[in-house]
Structure 1
Amino acid sequence: MWVAGVDGCRAGWIAVLMRVDDRNTHRIVTASTLADIADAPEQPAVIAVDMPIGLPDRTQGSGRAPEQLIRSLLGERQSSVFAIPSRSAVEAMDYAEACTIAAATSDPSRKVSRQGFAIFPKIREIDALLRARPDLMPRVYEVHPELAFWALNECQALLQPKKVKGVPYGPGMALRRELLRESGLLPDALIEAPPPRGAAQDDFLDALAGLTVALDLARGGGQSFPDPPGRDAHGLPVAIWTLRR
């Protein structure tokens, strides 16, 4: 059985695929679409992707329930958890229009951050894919790298940021690699591998974090926020998953 940890990147998506029964059998790839990863020759049984799945018609408070639940766990890292607005706002192609719709479909009224808007195309892609191919829903899980590192760090928020002012921060990156090593789930050679063309080092690190969750899920672990997951109006799951601790 193969699993995959996936993150968005400049090339589209970066995926780290691994056999559950042999951590030394793995492959790092980039793909232009998430469907390409789901349909890869390995046919990953679990795909843990750092991208929101399941969109509300309206938002109450600071985003979806999963985002509100995990922020309290992440301490100073909670700013990495974007508040995802309503489906109609995510479907807007123009930033000003997205802000107007988001403000009208949220309580309290909230606009859209520029960072959040930048990932809307990938949110729309995964949303369209799962709605068109519901057979993929049991295989695809939403994850957040900082929540994965929280679990790997004995359920403690990390004190070092991964980035400072948009630039990878050496000590924070090193801390996350060390947590991956200490988990024993991944080989050192994979953790220290360079990212492929079209992906940055932090994209690769986030995909590795997702891979640890995928491995745990494949072995019968995993925990979701909320538990059990919610469902949106189209039946898509609404939950962020991490390793069970």
Structure 2
Amino acid sequence: MDLWVAGVDGCKAGWIAVFRNLKDPAATRLHVFAEFPDLLKFDPPAQVIAVDMPIGLPERVGAGGRAPEKSVRPLLGQRQSSVFSVPSRAAVYTEDYRDACEISLKTSEPPRKISKQAFYLFPKIREIDAVMHPDMESRVFEVHPELAFWRLNGEAEMSLPKKIKGRANAPGLNQRRDLLVSYGFDQAFLDQKPPRGAGRDDLLDAAANSLIAGRIQFGEAEPFPKSFTRDVRGLRIAIWA
């Protein structure tokens, strides 16, 4: 019997997902979904879905964001800038940037505005938040690609960045590809032209997330922080690796 898991990353086209069959590690599939619920209903279903998007939104935010962000940044060294602080739920559900910044200022201590980079992720955060329920947390887990690569790299940060000044950095992407190949991925699969609306970094991130999904399935992953809390809707607030 097949045992599929999926690593997922947000992209311009929606969600890029790398499916791996844990009973046959050489079997991998790449799919892009316009909406997150489509991924949840995909057949064959993934037993574990490891997605790079915040799950569990705070009502108020302290310095450094949620506990998961504060837990993983020290591990990532020069890569810690990839972990942005998740603002309050009220800010995430505000569609105008200036209004979102105003709400963020009122719901953070010390008062903090929102970066444009974070704001552009709000629609995808809302998309997951709209469908998530505590009953789903045995299947859907929040992950972060750089934390995934840290785990896969012997708990050491990657020495090269994926991007420099917002543009893809080929040496950094190749470094991550080579690490994934060492875990059994076919290089041709990782070097394929990404689907329209997705970048090479999105594909590699989804592949890394799929390896963490496998760790979760086998009980080898851990949450950051270990003593995680829950939001007002009962959703777990933790990043897994």
Tell me the TM-score normalised to structure 1 length: 0.94
2:152 equivalent to 1:164: no
2:142 equivalent to 1:142: yes
Find the residue that maps to 2:132 and give its secondary structure: helix
- Contact 1:17 1:27 (C-alpha < 8 Å) held by counterparts: yes
Aligned with residue 107 of structure 1, among 109, 121, 131: 109
Find the residue that maps to 1:28 and give its secondary structure: strand
Structure 1: give runs of 5+ residues left out of the alignment: none
Once residues 229 and 216 of structure 2 are traced to their aligned partners in structure 1, the CA distance between those partners, rounded to angstroms, is 18
Quote the offset at 1:24 in angstroms. 2.1
How big is the alpha-carbon RMSD for the aligned residues of Structure 1 and Structure 2? 1.2
CA offset digits 1:148-169 (Å, max 9, x no partner): 1111111111221000111110
Quote the offset at 1:178 in angstroms. 1.2
2:120 equivalent to 1:121: no
Once residues 204 and 177 of structure 1 are traced to their aligned partners in structure 2, the CA distance between those partners, rounded to angstroms, is 10
CA offset digits 1:104-124 (Å, max 9, x no partner): 111111110000000000000
Once residues 144 and 137 of structure 1 are traced to their aligned partners in structure 2, the CA distance between those partners, rounded to angstroms, is 16
Find the residue that maps to 1:75 and give its secondary structure: helix
Once residues 59 and 128 of structure 1 are traced to their aligned partners in structure 2, the CA distance between those partners, rounded to angstroms, is 20
- Contact 2:190 2:203 (C-alpha < 8 Å) held by counterparts: no
CA offset digits 1:218-242 (Å, max 9, x no partner): 1221111011432111011100011
Structure 1 stretches (4+) deviating beyond 4 angstroms? none
Code of the residue aligned with 1:209 in structure 2: it is A
- Contact 2:177 2:187 (C-alpha < 8 Å) held by counterparts: no
- Contact 1:2 1:18 (C-alpha < 8 Å) held by counterparts: yes
Tell me the residue number matched to 1:6. Answer: 8
- Contact 1:23 1:187 (C-alpha < 8 Å) held by counterparts: no
Percent identity between the two aligned chains: 51
Code of the residue aligned with 1:40 in structure 2: it is F
Quote the offset at 1:199 in angstroms. 1.1
Identify which range, 173-182 or 46-55, moves more after superposition.
Answer: 173-182
Once residues 228 and 16 of structure 1 are traced to their aligned partners in structure 2, the CA distance between those partners, rounded to angstroms, is 29
Code of the residue aligned with 2:191 in structure 1: it is E
Tell me the TM-score normalised to structure 2 length: 0.96
- Contact 2:223 2:240 (C-alpha < 8 Å) held by counterparts: yes
Code of the residue aligned with 2:240 in structure 1: it is W
Structure 2: give runs of 5+ residues left out of the alignment: none
